[in-house]
Amino acid sequence: MEREGERPVNTSGIRPVKIVFLIHNVYGIGGTIRTTLNLAAALADRHQVEIVSMLRHRERPRFEIDPRVTVVPLVDIRAGSDDTADPMFTEPATVFPAAEKRYRQYSRLTDRRAEDYLRRCRAEVIIGTRPGLNVYLARFGPSRAVRIAQEHLTHDSHVKKLRAELARHYAGLDAVVTTTEADAAVYRARMPLPGVRVLAVPNSVPEPAVPPSDGTARIIAGAGRLVRGKRFDLLIEAFADVAAKYPDWVLRVYGGGPDRERLQRLIDDRGLGGQATLMGARSPIETEFAQASIVVSASDAESFGMTLVEAMRCGVPVVSTDCPLGPAEIIRHGVDGLLVPVDDGEALTAAMLGLITDDSARRRMGEEARVSARRFDPAPIARTYEELFTALVAGRRARRRGALWHTRLRPALRGALRR
């Protein structure tokens, strides 16, 4: 155990419990990590919270972690660690699903450590945060605990083979939580799970520690992993038309990833070297968003859209593709941001130009965005989870009473009546 959390102070009347989150690698950077840490900190106000990181690749996490939250790494993949010398470290995982995108990062050692931890776990609530970890939870998690599968990806982003495997394992859990109502509806329609509650709870984003944008800086920002699905190439192409008309505006793209070299070549080919810059990863990203006047997302698909909410909390209007499944549940078109069709560079350019040329609309949308984004504050999201925990426990008790009636009381009553 790496760090002991402080005992939470409970003033709400809610019974404190131990809550465990299973996460791929809390030492990295990503939306699932950010939202898990946000929720964990909010729940730590009333509960004992532990984050179990399957992998550990560096000494300290990139994101700040609430000191009340305990971090437990299971497999140390740093060069020279004892775990990398374990023979099981090089053997393929047999429990973690082979069709899961992270499969190559897992091993028999990860399988073994996850099983050992979960078999001994005394938590009342255990929450998995990606499909493979939810399989661990279903296979090894104690049946006395409330077991919840979070889906930070989407149903349709999983290949058919993985969906079939998840259906078998999710059937034994208490709940599946998606980040959008649209995705929850897809799960209900395409992965029937009798007796398992399927619902949507959005990701949480705290109020930033920086002053909001005043909307005057001639900066457009984008952020995310530099991969093809995020369509930063489309954003750069659309910005090229903006830069031709307004050369005093600049584009800053934050993030790292395998597409960096291709995107840099595109910037160079379009002659945008002085106006479009790949800034690298930044944490916290709100510090950068607060310096911008517009944030743009050109993604082909989003399971939620953390950067959209983070920008809105900074008082910045967002231009986003109306892609499945998150943006339309976050942005109110024309009120606190703009939605444009997927893969439509001309619409993206027009939306940016509209905000650039209308200072009052840009500032009005920025203020509306800041107000609207308060619904993603961690406190109400944490209360929603607490209500879910309570409902799931109550449901279990009702099912046990029903089982007792059918297996013991009802036959006994029939026997008494026959006598």
Q: Are residues 161 and 286 in the same domain?
A: no
Determine, yes or no, domain membership for 385: no
Determine, yes or no, domain membership for 395: no
- Has residue 350 got a pLDDT over 90? yes
Band (325; pLDDT cuts 50, 70, 90) = confident
- Phi-psi region at 311: left, alpha or beta (left = phi > 0; alpha = psi -120 to 50): alpha
Domain boundary among 166, 200, 234: 200
The pLDDT tens digits for 363-411 are: 999 999 999 999 999 999 999 999 999 999 988 766 655 544 445 545 6
Question: What is the distance between the alpha carbons of residues 199 and 47, in angstroms, rounded to a whole number?
Answer: 22
Question: What is the distance between the alpha carbons of residues 152 and 129, in angstroms, rounded to a whole number?
Answer: 7
Determine, yes or no, domain membership for 415: no
Positive or negative, the CA dihedral 244, 246, 249, 252 is negative
- Has residue 322 got a pLDDT over 60? yes
Domain boundary among 165, 200, 235: 200
Determine, yes or no, domain membership for 58: yes
Determine, yes or no, domain membership for 292: yes
- Has residue 14 got a pLDDT over 90? no
Tokens, residue 354: 């509209």
Query: What's the number of domains the chain is made of?
Result: 2
- 142 upstream amide cis, omega within 30 of 0: no
pTM: 0.87
Q: What is the mean pLDDT of residues 254-258?
A: 95
CA dihedral 113, 225, 327, 160 (to 10 degrees): -50
Percent of the chain exceeding pLDDT 90 equals 87
pLDDT of residue 9: 47
Q: Are residues 30 and 63 in the same domain?
A: yes
- 325 upstream amide cis, omega within 30 of 0: yes
Q: Are residues 191 and 116 in the same domain?
A: yes
The pLDDT tens digits for 200-231 are: 999 999 999 999 999 999 999 999 999 999 99
Q: Are residues 196 and 225 in the same domain?
A: no
Strand (E) or helix (H) holding 56:
strand 48-56
Domain assignment of residue 118, given as a range: 18-200
Which CATH number characterizes residue 272's domain?
Answer: 3.40.50.2000
- Has residue 70 got a pLDDT over 60? yes
Residue type, 261: E
Question: What is the distance between the alpha carbons of residues 155 and 123, in angstroms, rounded to a whole number?
Answer: 28
Percent of the chain exceeding pLDDT 70 equals 91
Q: Are residues 192 and 249 in the same domain?
A: no
Determine, yes or no, domain membership for 285: yes
DSSP bridge pairs for 56? 76
Q: Are residues 27 and 171 in the same domain?
A: yes
- Has residue 63 got a pLDDT over 60? yes
Decide the pairing of beta strands 318-321 and 125-128: unpaired
Residue type, 222: G
Angle between helices 232-245 and 345-357 (to 10 degrees): 50
Q: Are 108 and 92 in contact (CB under 8 A)?
A: yes
The pLDDT tens digits for 263-315 are: 999 999 999 998 999 999 998 899 999 999 999 999 999 989 999 999 999 99
Domain boundary among 200, 227, 248: 200
The pLDDT tens digits for 15-58 are: 899 999 999 999 998 889 999 999 999 999 999 999 999 999 99
pLDDT of residue 30: 86
Q: Are residues 289 and 370 in the same domain?
A: yes
Q: Are residues 195 and 223 in the same domain?
A: no
Q: Are residues 76 and 126 in the same domain?
A: yes
Q: What is the mean pLDDT of residues 166-175?
A: 97
Q: Are residues 158 and 228 in the same domain?
A: no
Average pLDDT, the chain: 92
Q: Are residues 172 and 227 in the same domain?
A: no
Question: What is the distance between the alpha carbons of residues 100 and 243, in angstroms, rounded to a whole number?
Answer: 41
DSSP bridge pairs for 3? none
Q: Are residues 223 and 192 in the same domain?
A: no
Determine, yes or no, domain membership for 413: no
Determine, yes or no, domain membership for 205: no
